[in-house]
Structure 1
Amino acid sequence: MLKSLDSALTLLMRFTAQQPSWGVRELAKETGVHHAVVHRVLATFAANGFLMQDSAGRYSLGLRLFELGQVAHHTFSPAEVVQPALDQLAQASGETVFLSLLDGDEGICTDIAQSQHQLRFSIELGQRFALVAGAHAKAILAFQPDDLRSTVYRKNKLADTAAIEARFEQIRTDGWSHTREEAAATVAGLAVPLWSRDRRRVVGSLAIAGPVQRIDGEAVPRLIEALKKTREAVEPVVGMTR
């Protein structure tokens, strides 16, 4: 029974922002699972509201998952505390501010306050990212155990790990990360790690991102201090259950 549940959840996890809908035979071919099994699993999820089926027979995520997602989001990042803090920082800095949490060997953006500038960094709620590029990613990975860092290096096929490790040592010393044009062209980022409630683990990061010309030079110390101040408000609640 547990094996069947694991197989069903594996199919469900194929629904991502990059591939939000699947046909039965398409998903069967992708996963190597017999199409009859895929059909039964998807139909069962749909009958319980976890998936929905369109007129063409394709499946996508259902409102039951949206409902559960709202519960999970409030658990990990209570909006009544986090969103006002991010909004205030976005207004003060003029840049996009976002909070990300560690999920396995990846990060996921859970909260955003957008810059009001026409030229700004763009990231979406729920967007997953590798922990190898960008200040938001490096502020998380730098503080992870050796085995997790090694897993990320292998997964992303990184060869020159000595240079990366040297950079991570500097991030751990500084307590913050600054990158230029790593996650996206013309974009710079600043980020601080978010610690668990017991201060033993880094569970995410708080970041500011925008055009390189606006996040450079004398702006960096000012923005780092603003990030640290905002972290004081959000860290106790986002780290509460981790």
Structure 2
Amino acid sequence: MECKNKTVIKSMALLNLFLTKERLSLNEMIELSGMPKTSVYRMVCSLCDMGFLNRDESGMYGLGLLFLQYGQLVSERLDIRKMALPVMENLRDEVDEAVHLIVKQGNEAIYIEKLEGTQMVRLYTAIGRRSPLYAGACARSILTFLPEDERKAYLEETELVPIASGTICDKAELIRVLDMSYKNGYTVSHSELEDYTSAVAAPIFNHQKQAVAGLSIAGFEARFQKDRLPYLVKRVKTAALDISKKLGF
């Protein structure tokens, strides 16, 4: 089924002109694109309003700073995944559980890498899947180490909605867990995103000492009991620190 939006495609064609040209006038964009003047004008105005293009004092257009922001995010995330993967593979082989890598996107966490263990139980998580920052050890490892004002604002504006039987929906309890996780340098979850599963996670820091990702070991809760938990905590903290060092921490 054809579902392409023609305006989006044409707007992308205009942006593609700047792959080889640093600055262009409106007339140059019209000439190079072969599109009607009125159409180009409307699209350029919209692209400027959204930050994809900017217009200088001489009337020339160039790519907006928004692309720099997007490019930085993509670069950071790809670098984190590339640097983290060997460490994740070693961790998976050591503990024989699923290993996840997540990054913050807005007020959510997004899974950018997942390695399965050999256990028969398969978790609901998948690359590209999102979860709220308050639920699950991996996402909460980032929330725990956000700047205090950012974390406070998130807690004030976020409704804690139950996802599984163990999801923390009381803000006072969540704050207590966050404080404990901050003190210990790791966080644990049981049945927060999916019943009968558990996870332990630690934050990954960059060269600016910012928590830019979370690393977790996750699996069936019977394998995350008190006798084995210290071992898993030690392994995930060590692996997260190894990745952090690769990022300049």
- Of 200, 212, 218 in structure 1, the residue corresponding to residue 221 of structure 2 is 212
2:79 aligned partner: 76
Q: Secondary structure at the match of 1:107?
A: strand
Task: Kindly name which structure, 1 or 2, has the bigger radius of gyration based on alpha carbons.
Answer: 2
> Structure 1 residue 230 and structure 2 residue 233: aligned?
no
Could you say if the C-alpha distance between residues 147 and 218 of structure 1 is closer, same or farther in structure 2, counting changes exceeding 3 Å?
A: same
Equivalent residues of 2:101, 2:213 under 8 A apart = yes
The 5 Å alignment of 1:151-170 reads 151-158=153-160, 160-170=170-180
1:41 aligned partner: 8
Q: Secondary structure at the match of 1:99?
A: strand
The 5 Å alignment of 1:24-35 reads none
**Residue 173 of structure 1 aligns to which amino acid in structure 2?**
K
Could you say if the C-alpha distance between residues 46 and 213 of structure 1 is closer, same or farther in structure 2, counting changes exceeding 3 Å?
A: farther
1:116 aligned partner: 118
Question: Any stretches of 5+ residues in structure 1 without a counterpart?
Answer: 1-20, 25-37, 50-67
**Residue 80 of structure 2 aligns to which amino acid in structure 1?**
S
Q: Secondary structure at the match of 2:222?
A: coil
- C-alpha displacement at 1:150, in angstroms? 3.8
| Number of aligned positions between the proteins | 186
Once residues 118 and 142 of structure 2 are traced to their aligned partners in structure 1, the CA distance between those partners, rounded to angstroms, is 27
Equivalent residues of 1:193, 1:202 under 8 A apart = yes
Once residues 6 and 192 of structure 2 are traced to their aligned partners in structure 1, the CA distance between those partners, rounded to angstroms, is 41
Q: So what's the TM-score if we normalise by structure 2?
A: 0.64
Q: Cα RMSD over matched residues? A: 3.0
Q: Secondary structure at the match of 1:210?
A: strand
Q: Secondary structure at the match of 1:179?
A: strand
- C-alpha displacement at 1:147, in angstroms? 3.5
The 5 Å alignment of 1:49-60 reads none
1:171 aligned partner: 181
Equivalent residues of 2:142, 2:203 under 8 A apart = yes
Could you say if the C-alpha distance between residues 22 and 145 of structure 1 is closer, same or farther in structure 2, counting changes exceeding 3 Å?
A: farther
